[in-house]
Amino acid sequence: MRSRPATEEKILRALSAADVLCDDCLADLAAVRPRQQANKRARALVLQGRVFREQGLCPRCRHARIVNRLPRPITPRLPLGSAVRKLDGRPWFTVERLREHGVIVRDLPGLGWVRASIGFWTSDDEIERLVENL
């Protein structure tokens, strides 16, 4: 029986090599069996902030479905270093402070991180408020 860390490592390696994969292709490339195990482990990695899952197009099988990818660095217009210095180490306070400014983010329990989901739906104003209020 495979251990969870080994399965998660195989998933992370497959995503590192392929960039974006649906669960079926991830199971194939990472050699994770049964296929449902790839879904289960990928969702566990999401909770750790190590994998993102979103609706998208799998470049391997070309099906529109939920795809997995490694986190990409955010490229704000302001230098990231200035935002990082303002973090107080208490993510739940950051979540509340941002909520007061109309920016919804979430605390990743046990990691001390705050996750902001940024995509095509995010306005420039929201990104500016996020960076200004970190």
Strands (E), the chain: 20-22, 52-57, 64-69, 106-108, 113-115
Q: Which is closer to Zn ion, CB of 3 or CB of 55?
A: 55
Supply the minimum distance, in Å, between the C-beta of residue 60 and Zn ion: 5
- x/- string (CB under 5 A) for Zn ion, residues 54-73? ----x-xx------------
Supply the minimum distance, in Å, between the C-beta of residue 21 and Zn ion: 6
Q: Which is closer to Zn ion, CB of 38 or CB of 103?
A: 38
Phi, psi of 113 (to 5 degrees): -115, 155
Q: Which tokens go with 82?
A: 């200035």
Contacts to Zn ion from residues 8-27, by CB under 5 A: 22, 25
- Which residues are within 8 A (CB) of 34 and not within 5 positions of it... i.e. 6 or more apart? 27
- Residue 92's identity, in one-letter code, is W
Query: Which residues of this protein are in contact with Zn ion, per CB under 5 A?
Result: 22, 25, 58, 60-61
